[in-house]
């Protein structure tokens, strides 16, 4: 698990964002209840329970959870292309070679529960919260990496701001493609870079849910090839157009909030992930 920006850069908050054991029942907001003693699986800076609980992060066997509450840490400094976040990720060793033939497909799957969302409604740019699959793909011919983010949950309704829209952007370091786990995006255009099967939940918005649900994102050879064409036509003109030239270096689930630099749009997000895995290729 990687925790970022739970406090402004250079502050004791950020330096100590996972420094201390947390004893309160973080599962009440994430849905994940580690075995006793829970404090062995829970970390944060502060140990303050509800009603205004401090941020906390959980790691227990094949499950992980996060509670990010922007009302309890500083966020006065602007961030470019990102927000306070927690990522639960795995690094394949060796890096995963997925695409050998046009018949190959990559699948990322996990059981995911968004247990708690506390966001001021309505909100458009600030006060947002998202939970997504993500993976990093590396071009062996140039060593360039890009990120594909696949939306599972968004605090805004579809079509508000960029909610549910497939697009291309940058986090300041890497180019990325963002796709909703849907067959059609919020603009009514078919989603091009991820395939939805019959055995997955679809991307949800606004409302949390009461149990872990199965999400499976499939990226076919054709999906990946189309994504490469989009990136070559834009920010990454020198990358290979061949899916065979890529390796998956990291994959996981990202929980992220965007509170802005003021206090008008504080947001809190609680969720957990189980049984995260990647399959396909060799």
| pTM exceeding the 0.95 threshold for the entire prediction | yes
For domain 2-279, which architecture applies?
Sandwich (2.60)
pLDDT at 282 over 70: no
Lowest mean pLDDT: which of 65-69, 78-82, 89-93, 138-142?
Answer: 78-82
What are 174-203's pLDDT values in tens digits? 999 999 999 999 999 999 999 998 899 999
What are 211-240's pLDDT values in tens digits? 999 999 999 999 999 999 999 999 999 999
Helix, coil or strand: residue 39 = helix
pLDDT for 172 equals 78
What are 22-71's pLDDT values in tens digits? 999 999 999 999 999 999 999 999 999 999 999 999 999 999 999 999 99
Do 185 and 168 form a contact (C-beta atoms < 8 A)? no
Give, in order, the Cα–Cα distances in Å from 186 to each of 74, 159, 191, 205: 33, 5, 10, 12
Contacts of 224-229 with CB under 8 Å at 24 or more apart are 224/98, 224/99, 224/106, 224/137, 224/193, 226/192, 226/193, 227/148, 227/177, 227/192, 227/193
- Of the candidates 34, 14, 16, 13, which has an alpha carbon nearest to the alpha carbon of residue 24? 34
What are 123-178's pLDDT values in tens digits? 999 999 999 999 999 999 999 999 999 999 999 999 999 999 999 998 878 999 99
- Of the candidates 266, 7, 256, 268, which has an alpha carbon nearest to the alpha carbon of residue 126? 266
**How many Å is the Cα radius of gyration of the chain?**
18
Strand partners, 131: 153, 255
**pLDDT averaged over every residue in the chain:** 97
Helix, coil or strand: residue 29 = helix
pLDDT at 93 over 80: yes
pLDDT for 257 equals 98
pLDDT for 81 equals 86
């Amino acid at each position: 698990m990687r925790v970022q920006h739970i406090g402004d850069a250079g502050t004791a908050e950020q330096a100590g964002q996972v420094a201390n054991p947390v004893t309160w029942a973080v599962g009440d907001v994430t849905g994940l209840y580690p075995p006793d003693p829970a404090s062995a699986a829970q970390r944060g800076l502060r140990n303050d329970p509800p009603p205004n609980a401090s941020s906390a992060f959980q790691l227990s066997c094949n499950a992980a959870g996060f509670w990010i509450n922007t009302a309890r840490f500083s966020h006065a400094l602007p961030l470019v292309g990102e927000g306070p976040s927690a990522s639960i990720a795995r690094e394949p060793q060796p890096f995963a070679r997925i695409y050998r033939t046009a018949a190959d497909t990559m699948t990322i799957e996990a059981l995911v529960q968004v247990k708690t969302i506390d966001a001021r409604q309505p909100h458009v740019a600030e006060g947002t919260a998202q939970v997504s699959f993500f993976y990093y793909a590396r071009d062996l011919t140039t060593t360039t990496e890009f990120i594909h983010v696949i939306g599972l949950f968004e605090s805004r309704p579809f079509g508000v701001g960029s909610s549910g829209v497939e697009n291309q952007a940058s986090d300041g370091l890497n180019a990325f493609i963002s796709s909703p786990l849907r067959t059609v995006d919020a603009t009514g255009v078919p989603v091009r870079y991820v395939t939805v099967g019959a055995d997955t939940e679809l991307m949800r918005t606004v409302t949390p849910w009461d149990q872990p649900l199965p999400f499976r994102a499939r990226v076919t050879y054709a999906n990946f090839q189309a994504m490469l064409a989009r990136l070559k036509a834009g920010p990454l003109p020198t990358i290979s157009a061949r899916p065979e030239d890529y390796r998956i270096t990291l994959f996981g689930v990202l929980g992220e909030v965007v509170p802005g630099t003021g206090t008008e749009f504080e947001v809190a997000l609680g969720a957990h992930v189980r049984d995260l895995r990647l399959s396909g290729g060799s």
